[in-house]
Amino acid sequence: MEAAMRALRTLMLGLGLALCPGVHAESAVYGLDHTIRAPGHAGTMRTLGFNRLALDTAPTGEQRLHTRPLWSQLRGGGQWRSTDDLDPDDTIDAALIQVLNSGFEVRISADGTPGPMRAVDEAAWARLLKQRPRAAQALVDAPQALGVQVRALPEGPRVGQVIRQRAQSPAGAVDTRLEVLAVDDGVALLALHMEGETLRGSGRQAVRLADGMPLEVSLRLDMDAVDGLPATEQRLRVVALDTLPMFDLSDSNTAVVDYQSERLAAPPFSEPSDDPTLYRDDPPPRGVLLADMLAPERLQTLAPRLVFGIAPRSIGRARLSMAADTAAEDRDADAGPPPLFGRLRSVTLRDGAGRPLPDLEVVPVRPMLGLFGRWRSDEGEADFPFRLPPGVRDEALDALATIELGMDMEIFAWDGVETVAYGAQPQSQPGARFDWRSPRHLGFEQARARTGETEALWSIAVPLDADGRPLPQASLMHRGRDADALDWEWRRTPQRTEIATPAPIAAVELRRYRWRMVPHVWTFERVDTTE
């Protein structure tokens, strides 16, 4: 059985690399998170990665979908293996690098029927198939791709509508039942259930109505033992990064949800409490930005220490390591490290003369990036801001002198205040709402930012007593989410904060701040070490 598990580990890297989310009208980058557990065997295997997709459409209506793996990492058995471990001077690795960089294609007929996935570089594929047949075949036979196929939906889908589809896969025929859960902003949210000879699965998809393209997928699969491999329980998430998802590759969400549940189940949220240690009595001054808000004028004067290094390794290419120290500038120590948060738009690698390094593709893979305090990240970590293609040699980075991150930075300005009487609702911020739970407990809800939004209001609620003075309060912002919920769903639910007080609330001050995104470039300088 151990031999079977070793084979499964070998296949996992290939499966993660080959997952193909479906048709996209333009080239786009997708992130994936794929876990496999074999009941009766210790440990869980997890693959994290990024793929680039592009679609060509012929006048006849036939389509050619091209998918190219950018980076993949397998974690399991106490080891981490990444595509940047591949050695271009090794015969087998060289064939795999060629296959990955050329990518794979699926030809789709005019009626929407997809053909088999094939490697674009047929010569490299033939060499790889000869040298490592099982791992090679796994690259094109991944049954998990069933969960992220293009969905041909009827025009004008309705909530509650059920659609049934059948598709052929390496695992045989698979029947899929789709139920429309929601339709909003050109996207349909679908619940899916699939059944095949050797697999069963369920999950959710957010599908673009214009072309059936899945923008996000969350899928659970149970697969029977086959070809010497044990039965497995699998979890897959794939998401288009241009939708700006909160694509958390850590396991922090579970811890956040557990913490929130514990706090909400205890006083002063579960029941009133007069214990003064449960409350804070230090509301921020009216008209002043909060400590974690970056002012426009402060952005222009910041001088954080931004550096990167290149660390040689005994296996694979040398890895880039980046570091930021936002507390390094000369300023009042009471101000605290400035928060630097925004959307990563571009990455440029330059030599000492300021010229971009030639013939080197650099792909941003972090939709949103935060540089807080002393931040560090290297290419061996899944949350590194960008990726280089498999097979890059060390000498390609010899001339690298600076790394430029082009970002849209989040900045804030004071907008105003509204006093809302107990039991009433705010009028100055669209989408803001008070949930008056009891005289000493309220929930405050406000809309989250939508994809593409560059300016909006964000507020805090300050409870007041009958004399108009701020009350001590305990507050808890809901940050976690259900493990099966899509990011698409989460962004359409309001952001909620629970507020409890030791005395009755007479009114609430809604203190408004206006945020917007502005372009800015951060330049990282090369150093010998980032320690």
Q: What is the mean pLDDT of each run of 10 residues along the chain (531 residues)?
A: 43 44 63 89 87 81 84 88 92 93 86 80 93 82 60 89 82 86 95 91 91 87 86 90 74 75 94 96 91 91 92 92 80 63 96 95 93 90 94 95 97 98 97 97 94 92 97 89 82 94 98 97 90 68
Single out the residue in 243, 259, 286 at which a domain terminates. 243
Contact 49, 12 (CB under 8 A): no
Single out the residue in 208, 228, 243 at which a domain terminates. 243
Q: Quick check: is 491 in a domain?
A: yes
Q: Quick check: is 278 in a domain?
A: no
Which residues are 443's β-sheet partners? Answer: 435, 498
CATH number of the domain within which 19 lies: 2.30.230
Rounded to an integer, what distance in angstroms lies between the CA atom of residue 77 and that of residue 45? 7
**pLDDT of amino acid 10:** 43
Our CA angle for 297, 303, 309, nearest 5°, is 145
Looking at the 3D structure of the chain, how many domains does it have? 2
Contact 280, 504 (CB under 8 A): no
3-class secondary-structure state, position 300: helix
Strand 507-526, strand 305-311: pairing: parallel
Contact 371, 322 (CB under 8 A): no
Contact 150, 114 (CB under 8 A): yes
**pLDDT of amino acid 268:** 97
Single out the residue in 222, 243, 264 at which a domain terminates. 243
Contact 163, 154 (CB under 8 A): yes
Q: Give the burial class of 86: count Cβ atoms within 10 A of its Cβ; 0-12 exposed, 13-18 middle, 19 or more buried.
A: buried
Rounded to an integer, what distance in angstroms lies between the CA atom of residue 57 and that of residue 75? 37
Q: Quick check: is 458 in a domain?
A: yes
Q: Quick check: is 313 in a domain?
A: no
Domain that includes residue 437, residue range: 411-517
Q: Quick check: is 276 in a domain?
A: no
Contact 294, 411 (CB under 8 A): yes
Q: Quick check: is 452 in a domain?
A: yes
pTM of the predicted model, to two decimals? 0.87
The helix (run of H) or strand (run of E) holding residue 254 is helix 252-264
**pLDDT of amino acid 311:** 94
Q: Say how many C-beta atoms besides its own lie within 10 A of residue 25's C-beta.
A: 12
Q: Quick check: is 511 in a domain?
A: yes
Q: Quick check: is 311 in a domain?
A: no
Nearest-Å Rg of the Cα atoms of the chain is 26
